[in-house]
Structure 1
Amino acid sequence: MTRQAPAAKPALQPELGLIEGRFGRIWNEAERSYVVRTLAEAGYGFYHYGPKADRSLRREWRKSHDAAQAESLARLSAECRGAGMRFGMAITPVGSTHPFDDAARADLTRRVAELDAIGIDDLAVLFDDLRGDMPELAERQAEVVNFCAGLTRATRVYTCPTYYSDDPVLDLVFADRPADYLGKLGRLLDPAVQVYWTGEEVCAKEIGPAHLERVAGELGRKVCLWDNWPVNDGARMSRFLHLRAFTGRPAGIAEHVSGHAINPAIQAHLGCIPALTLPMVYAQGSDYAYGAAFAAAARRLLGDEFAVMLQQDLPALQDVGYERLGVRGGRLRARYEGIDHPAAREILHWLGGADLMTDDEVQTQ
């Protein structure tokens, strides 16, 4: 009798989520509703809303959302909760740490109450992509986060440090990180606060257990991954459609993180294809194959014929880049013009030069 090899044991799966924390245009309600439904059906457990272009959460965080915006966000909260997902909002209180004075406390008290009124399960207080050359940076940031945690009715609180990766590009752009920044932040933050972290790089090619263990040791807690895939914002990345399945995230990292959130692509429908492959990484363990995962996700969302076409065009759309397509751009337009599907329209939109970002756009969001 021939014995069959035992099936691979499924790995643990951390809580999966989406952190809408990218630059670029804000999705409309229909796009966001599609993403919520699709990810909820795939087993995602939370949705954190915090696009950089929402000025009332970032550059003008002291300014309340207007009535129409607040109503739209309340509908999003209800939709997420109705789909079985936790809903959170992320505020980047620019300038609140230096000084963290009575005015900052009053504005934070008011804004956190307004976010609570919209209906949040999670509150995120973010400091990503802000200058780091300020005295007692970790101390002041921890003070602001703990203050907000004491105000909110949300049952979970998150933060993202200014230095949210080992990547030296952060030191180049935002000034050299202070000595023992992560250690100080971890010691001063309330132990219940979860910390977002992107990995060894801002857009990490691989995220492994050894790295995560080292960072957890510094922070005194497991990190929640802010995974910058399939995000494609910014002047450079927006020239490419990020479509391929997840790679470089072994299922074994599940026991080393408190959660795993993805930062989405500008293209809502297309970005759900790689998003659907992340649960496969954890469910399939050593049996995971990223090509097969892409094919399965694409067929599920696009149908067989469209999925095959997209797989054939992956090198052109993801690797060549908008400016270098040349005559291939016209051929791609001809292929997708006949497909009546939102994802096909996103491809045509991109081929037409829309959603291409500039450095100025990033710097002003």
Structure 2
Amino acid sequence: QLLPHRDSPGTRVAGTEVRDWPGTGWRGAIEGFYGVPWSHESRLDQLSFYGEHKMNIYVYSPKDDPYLRERWREAYPPDELARIAELVERARAHHVEFTYALSPGLSVCYSSDADVQALNDKFQTLWDIGVRTFAVPLDDISYTDWNCAADEERFGTGGGAAGAAQAHLLNRVNREFVRTHDGAEPLQMVPTEYYDTTPSPYKKALAEQLDEDVLVEWTGIGVVAPVMTVAQARDAREVFGHPILTWDNYPVNDYAQDRLLLGPFNGREKGLPGELAGITANPMNQAAASKIALYTVADFAWNDAAYDPRESWAGALAELAGGDGRTTAALRAFADASYGSALNPGQAPELSAAIAAYWDGGDDDALDDALSALEAAP
């Protein structure tokens, strides 16, 4: 991009200094939604897209994969393991860290040597195909009911006991697998209380007993956080006692499956990335449509100081429309009509502005243009 392109030898090259760096270390997406899964081809395409936008992590946690949750102890059939290996290779080719997230919480016995070994054995099969980053999500489970009597005997009952049990399991995986494999990235975990910063016996147990190098994932204040601030991130780091990697539930729409969420990443305070180990966004069931929001997530995570949600959103639309003006206009009208969300409370801001102008001053031309754009859009 900087060097002149000439057909003949000889040219002058200006001296140039480029200074650029990301606002936070990990920047990417976590495929962690419920409902209709992405296809293998969509996952491959997403990994290429992440690399193109300087996103460097993808967390493989699809709820449709039975070998991640219900059948977590079982090895993958060869054909399914081969597909994951293809994803790992695509990720590596685009400088994206493929993270494998195994969720044993529905049936694990935390005090069981056999279950610890099962976790480590499963991770080894993924290590053998090139995975170097691992996670153990313990979300969306009950910690008031044990899966085995031995856990109650060893840890007791209540939130503090659950935190101690989880820390015990994770520490063993961390010490017996992650730290014994040269080149492995720090272990990640999702706590059962992942959605606030309220002190609790559970969080206290994790803060005090979980190995300090384990990354804790957190969704903000609420499962879908309308805003996320520097102060909240500092509170999360304080209450969990560990580096925080956000699991940001935008633009995920598994809780609103009759809608697409096509607005930009919003409501995140400037300075937030610097307080975090990283930002991962949970996308929609619709992989291609998720790229609008993910483009803006990438912009914010790389340079939050200069981030402008509307400007980034416009850039996403232009890129995804291939630079064609008519397609960009059609996509913008469509995305405007699907703009509203917890992060973007104003529904259809451009169409709403045309309607407001009509009622305020009788500007029927602007409203006709906005409605005609929707009608004519392919």
TM-score of the superposition, structure 2-length normalised?
Answer: 0.75
Q: Establish whether residue 253 from structure 1 lines up as the match of residue 242 from structure 2.
A: no
Matches within 5 A, 1:55-94: 55-94=66-105
Structure showing greater relative contact order (alpha-carbon pairs closer than 8 Å, 6 or more residues apart): 1
1:300 is aligned to: 319
2:165 is aligned to: 140
1-side partners of 2:233 and 2:283: how far apart? Answer: 22
Q: What is the deviation of 1:161? A: 0.4
Measured at CA, do residues 333 and 181 of structure 1 come closer, stay the same or move farther in structure 2, by a change above 3 Å? farther
Q: Establish whether residue 231 from structure 1 lines up as the match of residue 249 from structure 2.
A: no
Q: What is the deviation of 1:284? A: 5.2
2-side partners of 1:250 and 1:332: how far apart? Answer: 33
Amino acid at match of 1:158: Q
Matches within 5 A, 1:248-287: 248-282=267-301, 285-287=304-306
Larger displacement relative to structure 2 (41-50 or 26-35): 26-35
Q: What is the deviation of 1:241? A: 0.5
Moved over 6 A (4+): 331-334
1:352 is aligned to: none
Amino acid at match of 1:137: A
Summarize deviations over 1:98-139 as a string: whole Å, max 9, x none. 453233233223212222223212100010111121431001
1:212 to 233, 244, 249: 233
1:158 is aligned to: 188
Amino acid at match of 1:291: R
Summarize deviations over 1:32-51 as a string: whole Å, max 9, x none. 11111111110001111110
Matches within 5 A, 1:77-226: 77-95=88-106, 97-134=108-145, 135=157, 136-149=161-174, 150-152=176-178, 153=181, 154-166=184-196, 179-226=200-247
Measured at CA, do residues 286 and 115 of structure 1 come closer, stay the same or move farther in structure 2, by a change above 3 Å? closer
TM-score of the superposition, structure 1-length normalised?
Answer: 0.78
1:313 to 301, 309, 334: 334
1:18 to 23, 29, 32: 29
Measured at CA, do residues 181 and 99 of structure 1 come closer, stay the same or move farther in structure 2, by a change above 3 Å? closer
Measured at CA, do residues 285 and 16 of structure 1 come closer, stay the same or move farther in structure 2, by a change above 3 Å? closer
Aligned-residue sequence identity (percent) comes to 28
**Can you give the 5+ residue segments of structure 2 that lack an aligned partner in the other structure?**
1-19, 146-156, 342-372
Larger displacement relative to structure 2 (39-48 or 273-282): 273-282
Q: What is the deviation of 1:221? A: 2.3
1-side partners of 2:304 and 2:29: how far apart? Answer: 21
Q: Which has the higher helix share?
A: 1
**Can you give the 5+ residue segments of structure 1 that lack an aligned partner in the other structure?**
1-8, 168-176, 321-330, 337-365
Superposed CA RMSD in Å reads 2.5
CA contact under 8 A between 1:161 and 1:196: conserved in structure 2? Answer: yes
CA contact under 8 A between 1:122 and 1:155: conserved in structure 2? Answer: yes
3-state SS of paired residue (2:164): helix
Structure with bigger gyration radius: 2
1-side partners of 2:22 and 2:61: how far apart? Answer: 30
Summarize deviations over 1:142-174 as a string: whole Å, max 9, x none. 11111222224333210000110129xxxxxxx
3-state SS of paired residue (1:57): coil
